[in-house]
A and B are shown apart, each in its own frame.
Chain A
Amino acid sequence: MIRTETASLTYWDHGRAIKACDQISLAIRKDEFVGILGPSGSGKSSLLYLLSGLKDPTAGVVFYDEQPYAQRPPDERAAIRLNAFGFVFQQPFLIGFLTALENVMCANGSRHEHRARKLLESLGLQDKMNRLPSDLSGGEKQRVCIARALLHEPKVVFADEPTASLDHETGTQVVEMLVRNRNGALVMVTHDESMLTQADRVLRIHEGRLQESS
């Protein structure tokens, strides 16, 4: 479904080249849970941006449904992210003036209200749907983000260190919920191997290079 061919992403920082992703070739298959493990600064986030089409590779190609992102106009790429992907970022970004429930529906519209409520319920937030983000704990906010990412039953959920801002126990719960409530593939990036016990595959990344392990 998503495939990279020797994709590289090089940043330029004050004239110095930083190879955040170095000739990475991999494929994400339908409905699988792929874990990407690596220390901080190894290029995990960068790889996620390549896979989701948020960034273009500086060399190589990234395909979605066998067509490179680079060949698609920006609006189409936005539409793919909106309809086919779900995102959970390291920080639980929510819109401050919207309630938890409204945040879940902010991108994909209120036609999914019923599903939004059910998702929040299954994530243990049945009593907090109408609270503003400022009245939620970090773990609760991240669960709202998960509900937002899952609302439209995306084909792929990208999670970039979704547990980094949470304590270990809450983090484990959050991953558990993400895994349990997903309908499609899950690509999760982390530096914490214990979060990936349920993954179908774990890829290790180090200084932008990939090594696959079971």
Chain B
Amino acid sequence: MIAIIMLAVVLIAGIVAIIDSIPLSVQKVYGYSRFLTGVTPRGDMSYFPTILRHFEKSPVPIERRIICRTSIFNVNTIVGPWPFVLHGINPNDFDYLSNKLRLGRLDGRQPISGRGEAVITKPIAKNLRLHLGSIMLSPHDEKNYSLTPVVVVGIYDSDQWFAYTSYEYLVQTHFPPVDVAIYFAKDQQTQRRLDAWADKTLAGTKANVYTYPKVERDTAESLAVLFRILDLVVGLLVVVITIMMCMLVNIYLSQRIVEFGLLQAIGISRKRLVTRTVAEAAWMILTGWIVGSAVTAAVLTLIRNVLMNPKGYYIDPLDPLAYVYTIPVPAAVLITSIAIVLIKFAKFDPIAVIERRIV
């Protein structure tokens, strides 16, 4: 009985934690966008000056504007490759950016303008198994393509995911020739206000606005279906396990019917017997749940440390959502157990046991 609950808890919490690691990965991988509001014209570069003019009238104070180019490469996740941005940055913005994004200490050097050189952060290095001098993009690599090979010349010692090369390099090698304006505010709160303002002002124009809240919203939306399926699976699991446990509880009580009959005959009140039995059941169920949760946490921690961390994958072994999802199982089993105990004792005649008419 304890084992069944335990297994169910491990199963559910495990699945939920793994699915819930997706938004966690999004948060980590695209975490840098928390610090900025990005705007780019949709295809038509002639609209770019209009965008810049819009921002000159921004009511939210802007700390700095950076003009850059972007290209896309892929990082690995448990759900397959995700697109990630290689920014083309002007050398005079390097220092500002590394401070703003808290990129920490740089191992190696900054890319030289116009050359196939890039700087990345530690998680990306782990994720793509890159070292100083590794080729990150190349003309022979379909997934991570560039016209000429791009070599890693610097790695920041930071948990942030960020990658950049020089503006000039992307101008020379990358199509289409579309600039991105990145605006920084002095702190997170102001940045969110800037995000909201930009979203509102540029809605319906030929500008594309990238903000962190948008990333989060998109993730939540795309995972909504998955979570609905999860609800269904957990619901089914609860039903199956509850039915199974009902049968077990029934057998268990039948095995102890002589004990209950005897105790009731010699003067233990029905109330006390019911309370005692329910307490026993509750104790078992709680034990199963706690042990199951502990096992899950241990297994997930192991998975994280051995399998996920080295690849720059993320999972939270103590994900509250995972453990919340396991609650319906013990709750349903507890409620049905109590119901079965009550029903059994309601029509229970100790004399019948004493007289050996039921055993």
> Which residue numbers of A lie inside 8 Å of B, CB to CB?
45, 49, 54-55, 74-75, 78-83, 85-87, 89, 91, 93, 95-96, 106-107, 148-149
B350 touches A (CB below 8 Å): yes
Interface of B is mostly: helix
Listed stretches B83-91, B111-119, B257-265, B310-318; interface member = B257-265
Residue of B nearest to A152 (CB): B267
The yes or no answer to B356 lying at the interface (CB within 8 A) is: yes
On whether A87 and B265 interact (CB within 8 A), knowing A49-B351, A54-B351, A93-B354, the answer reads yes
**Contact A75-B269, Cβ < 8 Å, known A45-B355, A49-B351, A54-B351:** yes
Residues on B with beta carbons closer than 8 Å to the beta carbon of A149:
266
Q: How large is the interface on B (under 10, 10 to 19, 20 to 34, 35 or more residues)?
A: 10 to 19
Q: Which A residue's beta carbon lies closest to that of B255?
A: A96
A82: contacting residue among B258, B266, B350, CB under 8 A: B266
When the two chains form their complex, are residues A107 and B266 in contact, meaning their CB atoms are under 8 A apart? yes
Assembly CA distance A9 to B261 (angstroms) = 21
Interface string of B250-277 (1 = CB under 8 A from A): 0000000011011111111111100000
User: Which residue on A lies nearest to B271, using beta carbons?
Assistant: A75
Complex CA distance for A185 and B4, rounded to whole angstroms = 51
When the two chains form their complex, are residues A82 and B265 in contact, meaning their CB atoms are under 8 A apart? no
Complex CA–CA separation, A49 to B355 (angstroms): 11
- Quick check: A79 and B269 within 8 Å, CB to CB? yes
The answer to whether A87 and B266 have CB atoms under 8 Å apart is: yes
Residues on A with beta carbons closer than 8 Å to the beta carbon of B265: 54, 81, 87, 89
Residue of B nearest to A82 (CB): B267
* Residues A89 and B354 in contact, CB atoms below 8 Å apart: yes
A44 CB to closest chain B CB (Å) equals 12
Compute how far the CA of A85 lies from the CA of B354 in the bound complex, rounded to whole angstroms: 16
Q: Kindly report which residue of chain A lies nearest to residue B270, judged by CB atoms.
A: A74
Sample 18 A-B pairs with CB under 8 A, ordered by A number.
A49-B351, A54-B265, A55-B351, A74-B269, A78-B268, A78-B270, A78-B272, A81-B265, A81-B267, A83-B267, A86-B266, A87-B265, A89-B265, A91-B354, A91-B356, A93-B261, A93-B262, A107-B266
- List 4 tightest A-B contacts by C-beta distance, closest first: A82-B267, A81-B267, A78-B269, A93-B262
> A79 and B262 in contact (CB under 8 A), knowing A45-B355, A55-B351?
no
Q: Within the assembled complex, what's the spacing in Å between the Cα atoms of A75 and B274?
A: 13
Contact with A along B18-45 (1 / 0, CB 8 A): 0000000000000000000000000000
Which residues of chain A are near B259, meaning CB under 8 Å? 95-96
1/0 per residue, CB under 8 A from A, across B337-357: the answer is 000000000000011001110
Task: For A78, list chain B residues within 8 Å (CB).
Answer: 264, 267-270, 272
Give Cα A175 to B143, complex, Å: 93
Q: How far is the CB of A107 from chain B (nearest CB, A)?
A: 5
Give the residues in chain B near A49, CB-CB below 8 Å.
Answer: 351
Cβ contact within 8 Å between B267 and A79: yes
Given contacts A79-B267, A80-B267, A85-B267, contact A54 B258 (CB under 8 A): no
B184 to chain A, nearest CB (A): 71
Q: Of all chain A residues, which has the CB nearest B356?
A: A91
Write the nearest CB–CB distance from B345 to chain A, whole angstroms: 12
CA A86 – CA B258 in complex, angstroms?
Answer: 18
Q: Which residues of B contact A95 (CB under 8 A)?
A: 259, 262
B268 contacts across to A, CB distance below 8 A: 78, 82, 107
A79 to B271, CA, bound (A): 12
Q: Do the beta carbons of B263 and A107 come within 8 Å of each other?
A: yes
Minimal Cβ-Cβ distance residue in A for B259: A95
Rounded to whole angstroms, the CA-CA distance of A95 and B350 in the bound complex is 15
Known contacts A75-B271, A91-B356, A93-B258; 11 additional CB pairs below 8 A are: A54-B265, A78-B264, A80-B267, A81-B267, A82-B266, A85-B266, A86-B266, A87-B265, A93-B262, A107-B268, A149-B266
- Known pairs A75-B269, A78-B270; A106 contacts B263 (CB<8 A): yes
Give the distance in Å from the alpha carbon of A106 to the alpha carbon of B267 in the complex.
Answer: 11
Residue in A closest to B258 when the chains form the complex, CB atoms: A93
Q: Give chain B nearest CB distance to A64 CB in angstroms.
A: 13
